[in-house]
Amino acid sequence: MEPLIIADHAFCSRLFAGTGKYASAEAMTESILASGTELVTLSLRRLDLQHQTDNILKPLQSMGVKLLPNTSGARNAKEAIFASELAREALQTNWVKLEIHPDPRYLMPDGNETLAAAEALVKKGFVVMPYVHADPVLCKRLEEVGCQCVMPLGSPIGSNMGLASRPFLDIIIEQANVPVIVDAGIGAPSDASLALEMGADAVLVNTAMAVAKQPEQMGKAFRLAVEAGRLAYESGLGEKRFDAAHATSPLTEFIGALS
């Protein structure tokens, strides 16, 4: 399989993973390892003095995966830029997954604020990976302001509804000159396979792996699905034909010879 290049970094795995919603740090670690991912997302929040949280950072760092902080919680461009700069200090990386959702109920990304923040962050030297609606025009604009990839959603975050935005993803993939990473809504390995078969460069999966009864096994399932999808894409899928069935074996002649 061809490696995926984003900015100056080559990824052998085309599966990116979120670290949220796991029942424990151990379950997360096992699932991430089994998935073969080389890039995982993290969030920032204000230090909680009352509750000690599981330290997930050390196990992730010891695995050697690349860390991608997100700007989750930011409601506008100004907050997202501040969150990105905090994340750069916290995790010593200039990569950021830019996500701005003013509405906490549906977590719909705000395209206007995302474009404004992306442009500013690119100028500040960030590798910007914007999470957006499957909006071909917006994805083109983000590419034009210097984003290193685009991350259109398949369906609402955490919904497991798969590639509900498929017709728009097809257009984005056709038009893009930067990698297209389908993020959000991927609920099953088959969704991930389909995205890769369509020509998406990678997928980002979180909920489907984290809430599985067996997260480790589901991580492996997603690894296999992503590899299969990419291999199929690189191999060249046959065109869909609607006019008639086309036999792959000459059965009629064989039966005719018996009479």
Cα separation, 174 vs 250, in Å, equals: 37
Task: Give me the least distance between CB of 241 and other proteins, in Å please.
Answer: 39
Q: Is 90 part of any known ligand binding site?
A: no
- H helix or E strand, kind and range, residue 16: strand 15-18
Query: Cβ closer to other proteins: 72 or 143?
Result: 72
Q: Is 37 part of any known ligand binding site?
A: no
Residue 136 phi, psi (nearest 5): -60, -35
- H helix or E strand, kind and range, residue 130: strand 127-132
Q: Give contact residues for other proteins (rule: CB under 8 A).
A: 18-22, 28, 41-49, 53-54, 56-58, 61, 69-70, 72, 82, 85-87, 89-91, 157, 204, 206-207
157 contacts 184 by C-beta, under 8 angstroms = yes
Catalytically active residues, by annotation: 97
Q: Is 199 part of any known ligand binding site?
A: no
Q: Are strands 202-205 and 181-183 parallel, antiparallel or unpaired?
A: parallel
Q: Is 184 part of any known ligand binding site?
A: yes
Task: Give me the least distance between CB of 115 and other proteins, in Å please.
Answer: 22
Query: Cβ closer to other proteins: 31 or 165?
Result: 31
Cα separation, 148 vs 164, in Å, equals: 24
Query: Cβ closer to other proteins: 43 or 94?
Result: 43
Query: Cβ closer to other proteins: 131 or 233?
Result: 131
Task: Give me the least distance between CB of 102 and other proteins, in Å please.
Answer: 18
Q: Which residues pair with 17 in a beta bridge?
A: 40, 205
Task: Give me the least distance between CB of 44 and other proteins, in Å please.
Answer: 5
Q: Is 206 part of any known ligand binding site?
A: yes
| Burial zone of 12 (CB within 10 Å; 0-12 exposed, 13-18 middle, 19+ buried) | exposed
Token reading at 58 = 């050390």
203 contacts 16 by C-beta, under 8 angstroms = yes
Cα separation, 41 vs 51, in Å, equals: 22
Task: Give me the least distance between CB of 139 and other proteins, in Å please.
Answer: 20
Cα separation, 252 vs 76, in Å, equals: 66
Query: Cβ closer to other proteins: 88 or 230?
Result: 88
Mark the binding-site residues for 1-deoxy-D-xylulose 5-phosphate, compressed into ranges.
158, 184-185, 206-207
- Which amino acids are annotated as binding site, given as ranges? 158, 184-185, 206-207
